[in-house]
Amino acid sequence: MSTATTFPAGAEQQNAKIVEGSDGLLLEVDGRIVPNYDATLHPFQEGDVVTGHVVRIDNDEVLVDIGYKSEGVIPSTELSIRKSVDPSDEVSLGEEVDALVLTKEDQDGRLILSKKRARFEKAWRRIEAAAESGEPVEGGVIEVVKGGLIIDLGVRGFLPASLVDIRRVPNLDEYMGQAIECKVIELNRSRNNVVLSRRAVLEEQRKEDRERILDRLQPGQVVEGKISNIVDFGAFVDLDGIDGLIHISELSWSHVNHPSEILSIGDTVSVKVLDIDRDRQRISLGLKQTQEDPWQRVVDTYNIGDELEGTVTKVVTFGAFVEILDGVEGLVHISELAQHHVENPREIIQPGDPVRVKILEIDSERRRLSLSIKRVEGQVLPVRPIVPPPDGDSGQLDDVPELGLSEDVFASSENQEQPTPDPSG
């Protein structure tokens, strides 16, 4: 820095006068024109924020020229809210920085400044505005602590682990050093307390993504997605940001006991959009609708009176179910098992038996098929001794699990010679 010409006490006031047209920057003293250094000094008070340029970086402090009579000193502890910082990591020579005036003149006559407190003041104004408007703030992750992350916003913001993401994050260390956006959910300046939520930002983005996806989806469309979750009642499909549900009844044309029988998490599937509830942002999907309907093959291929091969799938008190195609079962009522009276269907057939059946009725609307074994010419099944099932299982209807569509077949089955038991027992 240049050094000013000095005068005896009172001499400047007595002999100096401002040079006209110099805006007070030049003085005439005893006929000489000299700079008016005092006019270049910007007035400031302790607590003010000033701007200057870094002129020197030492191990424990930084010198900043703010246009004052001497450089300001920023101790290393006043550079950042981070702990144990290296001054060279925080500033560079020539960099313009804002600093808050802590002391205009300490015991050594130095001007003491704080970069972190100037940033702190600016940060609080920004954070308070963001909290009021609901806009997100951005900061870098500087620490992983018990229960969450510390975010550098100019002040230390706390991001609880439960609010880091929509789903639970098993390892918070992966966020170290990342710049992330968060919403301010709690603010207390007197306690320097800032609580943040990244989850709120992600949920808002997800909502926008959902609305965008819903806008382009229509019932009847076939779309592709990935299985994101499997539950007892169906499977969820991720459609690029919004989950749709395939109910278990819409997974296959054949009966499904559990979705995991045919799907795994991560599978890519083509599904048909069945219904969209735009208010609740819910999408109903169908998987079986993208596959051939075996019932259409029955309608197109077979007629009443046709005989074909089948396999017994279930034996119950009122008859047996026989699968004639993958996904298509028909009911052989107990009265259609044999020419003679049958007390228990297990006298004649067991699950897994191959049999020939004759089609008695095809109800394509209700997807019901009535079959007969006794009407197949030349087919006589042997009478078997009844062996009690293990564990006391009586083999009766009330011991049969969910029968799906086949229950309906039985419920209105015709050609019955005796009252039908209640399926529920």
> pLDDT tens, 184-233?
999 988 888 999 999 999 988 888 888 888 888 899 999 999 999 999 99
* Same structural domain, 325 and 387: yes
* Same structural domain, 158 and 184: yes
Q: Domain total for the chain?
A: 5
Report how far residue 121's alpha carbon sits from residue 102's, in angstroms, rounded to the nearest whole number. Answer: 13
* Same structural domain, 298 and 407: yes
pLDDT for res 140? 93
* Same structural domain, 157 and 81: no
* Same structural domain, 65 and 110: yes
* Same structural domain, 140 and 186: yes
pLDDT for res 20? 66
- CATH number for the domain spanning 243: value is 2.40.50.140
pLDDT for res 387? 62
* Same structural domain, 347 and 399: yes
Show the tokens assigned to 252: 């296959």
pLDDT for res 421? 39
Residue 406: give the domain boundaries.
294-411
* Same structural domain, 327 and 390: yes
The alpha carbons of the chain give a radius of gyration, in whole angstroms, of 42
Task: Give every residue of the chain whose pLDDT is below 50, as ranges.
Answer: 1-13, 392-425
Does 421 map to a domain? no
- The pTM of this model reads 0.46
Q: What is the pLDDT of residues 117-154, one digit of tens each?
A: 888 888 888 899 999 999 999 999 999 999 999 999 88
Closest CA to 137 of 85, 93, 195: 195
Does 43 map to a domain? no
* Same structural domain, 26 and 83: no
pLDDT for res 110? 86
Does 259 map to a domain? yes
pLDDT for res 162? 93
pLDDT for res 185? 94
Of 290, 310, 328, the residue that ends a domain is 290
Report how far residue 182's alpha carbon sits from residue 205's, in angstroms, rounded to the nearest whole number. Answer: 12
Of 263, 290, 317, the residue that ends a domain is 290
